[in-house]
Structure 1
């Protein structure tokens, strides 16, 4: 089980990577990360190992660790792999969700809408990841949820970049609202369709070479 210090370091690194502060290829120097996160070197090393297991960073023999480069083509392929898994989780979530989970998921959707209205892209991007986790938890299908989590971890930077495109957050919010509404209505067919439709939209957006001003390439 990860220590609190390791979790702190993981969160800080994941956020920095998603914001582009640590772009693909960025070297992760343990001493610098200790100063950045305020945790021990062993906690930083464990955090790097955890992110490497997720595919977010990589260790290069004799060169240390760096942020892994995930190309757009690879991001599309990863999202394609997520399609059936996310559909399965949405279906199971609609079948198994509790009343308490429905309340939390609806409140979470309101927070997502608030972030979009405020133009808070970073918060919205983080809330999307949390929503996927909530659907996975409601599904009570740990194998599929773990596979999705590992795939999703590799896409945080691409997801953040998509959120910066003009109009994209509202398109995303509509798709995810349909997912939440279907799951909380306990409609498995509709939930599965909503999940796959949303991800097909993500694939289409990733395939669009539209320039993203102000975002590091």
Structure 2
């Protein structure tokens, strides 16, 4: 069983990353033979990988039509953000309690890089730093189960998040929210860290609704 998992995991990871990067678009059919050739994997391993990705909510099985990339609606993306608000608040609280001096330096350096990216108009760079900050808060918190949940939620809503990140002026809105998260965690203030996360994700939800109406 362990050997099989070692064989399958690279295939699962490769297809997952392709979906997250947008190489496969919502509702696109995922043909086992094509995936087998693209990722140099057996049909059996591709089939198992698609089942795993269906469990994660990235792929859906359609009767008599195989698998396709699952489309996430705006309503579902908002629900995901609401769940993230609860779970990431927990992570922020724990991170504020556990953070070391070395990790404080790391988060402050991330904040500095985010300021620089926004000032220079580097939207893609800022988007990457945004993801890095949220990932590091999860890691610093030590909440492994929460981290796994959040990673799955992030993967499901990534296309909505990317569209939001590309909106003109959005980085200037989210930058002070992210800096507030960093400041609270680095100050070892769990309550303020949780409040900062809630404020940020409330802003994300509002922006998602506005983007859909635009």
TM-score, structure 1 as length reference: 0.81
TM-score, structure 2 as length reference: 0.82
- Higher helix content, 1 or 2: 2
- The alignment status of 1:74 with 2:76, answered yes or no, reads yes
Q: How does 1:55-204 map to 2 (within 5 A)?
A: 55-116=57-118, 117-121=120-124, 123-204=125-206
Q: Quote how far apart the aligned CAs of 1:25 are.
A: 0.4
- The 1:42/1:112 distance shift into structure 2, 3 A limit, reads farther
Q: Residues of 2 paired with 1:189 and 1:164: CA distance?
A: 31
**Runs (5+) with no aligned partner, structure 2:** none
- The 1:145/1:18 distance shift into structure 2, 3 A limit, reads closer
**Runs (5+) with no aligned partner, structure 1:** 212-217
Range that drifts further, 60-69 or 141-150: 141-150
- The 1:131/1:64 distance shift into structure 2, 3 A limit, reads farther
Q: Residues of 1 paired with 2:94 and 2:50: CA distance?
A: 33
Q: Output one character per residue of 1:30-84: Cα deviation in whole Å (capped at 9) or x when no partner.
A: 3323444455555544543443222122222332221111100111111112212
Q: Residues of 2 paired with 1:49 and 1:184: CA distance?
A: 41
Q: Residues of 2 paired with 1:58 and 1:146: CA distance?
A: 20
- The 1:136/1:22 distance shift into structure 2, 3 A limit, reads same
- The 1:190/1:15 distance shift into structure 2, 3 A limit, reads same
Paired residues, number: 209
Structure 1 runs of 4+ with >6 Å offset: none
Q: 2:90, 2:194 within 8 Å by CA — same for their partners in 1?
A: yes
RMSD across aligned positions (CA): 2.7
